[in-house]
Amino acid sequence: MRLIEDWPSIAHEFDLAYALFGAPGRGHVSAWLAEELARTSDDAFARSFSDHIYLPGVSSSDYLQRVVRSERGDLLGGIRFRGRDIDKPFIEIIAHTFDDVDDLARCVAAEWSAFAPKALRLRTLPRSLEGPDIVVDQTVHAARCTDLGVPDPQVQLVPFEQVEDAVGLIQARYHTLNPVLAQNIVAADAEDLRSWHAAGQLHAITVSDVTVGAFAVRPSRIYWLPGAEIHEEVVDTDHAGHHYASHAQRRWAADMSADRDEHLIGTIDGLNNASRRTAEEAGRPRVLDLVFVALTENRKSG
């Protein structure tokens, strides 16, 4: 029986980890896989769902991740809820050995039938999985701080004098979002912004001493990928279109990163093409896609 590390679905991530981190990269992926496998018996993990969710016929242990073995393939995965909405269940696939995505979908639909999941989610190389009822949920972007471009000298990052100014600016910007995109993303809440402000992780984007936006970065990890993660980034509508956000990313990498070899990382909603362009302009390429595969009746029935 092969170790999960040897399952073919994870091979491209070991390659990516090596490209990003060199020899230590494999350790990042292996350690993360071990954590995810441990969630098959971690009652505290299960209770992080069951303590807040009641679904008829579902017990706390049903929220544990599962290793599922079948004739067509094996998988490690678990139940999730998009945007913490219990009406939007999906199955996060950590790793698998299936050759065919429809076979994987049928296995998932049968194994987690108590939750009636709408989709499964996979991590793939950018643009590598396309087809009917397959959509990009999020894209993952990463680059070493030292590899980002040179920032515009007029664009600076400074502390907000009053954190409530940041709260108001961010909330106002989110109110102008495309309604479809607004269903998928939400502004950082005021409590988080106050915490980040106190920790020196929230910054005003200024141009010639005029505040044009807000930018928040915190140490974090996206799956196995460690780095400094962008948690909030907005430019107000009156100053949009000048590439200030991409230069804010470059400014943070140049002046505020404690280690120029660390990676500036982040996820971007699949519908947020403007933020994707901003990341790529800054020098942060798209390195992974998080892809939803809908569990349609045709796919489930084969």
Determine the 3-state secondary structure of 235 from DSSP. Answer: strand
pLDDT at 136: 98
214-237-172-86 Cα dihedral, nearest 10 degrees: -90
pLDDT tens for each residue of 160-186: 999 999 999 999 999 999 999 999 999
Question: How many Cα atoms within 13 Å fall on the side-chain side of residue 171?
Answer: 9
Q: Is the dihedral of CA 190, 194, 195, 201 positive or negative?
A: positive
pLDDT at 18: 98
Architecture of domain 143-287: 3-Layer(aba) Sandwich (3.40)
pLDDT at 2: 72
pLDDT tens for each residue of 196-241: 999 999 999 999 999 999 999 999 999 999 999 999 999 999 999 9
Rg (CA), the chain: 20
User: Can you list the residues of the chain whose pLDDT is less than 50?
Assistant: none
pLDDT at 3: 84
pLDDT at 71: 95
pLDDT at 80: 98
Distance CA 137, CA 272 (A): 10
Question: How many Cα atoms within 13 Å fall on the side-chain side of residue 120?
Answer: 28
Residues in CB range of 234: below 8 A, 6 or more apart: 169, 170, 173, 174, 213, 214, 245
- Asked if residues 170 and 232 have their Cβ atoms less than 8 Å apart, the reply is yes
pLDDT at 302: 65
Domain chopping of the chain, boundaries: 4-124, 143-287
pLDDT at 279: 98
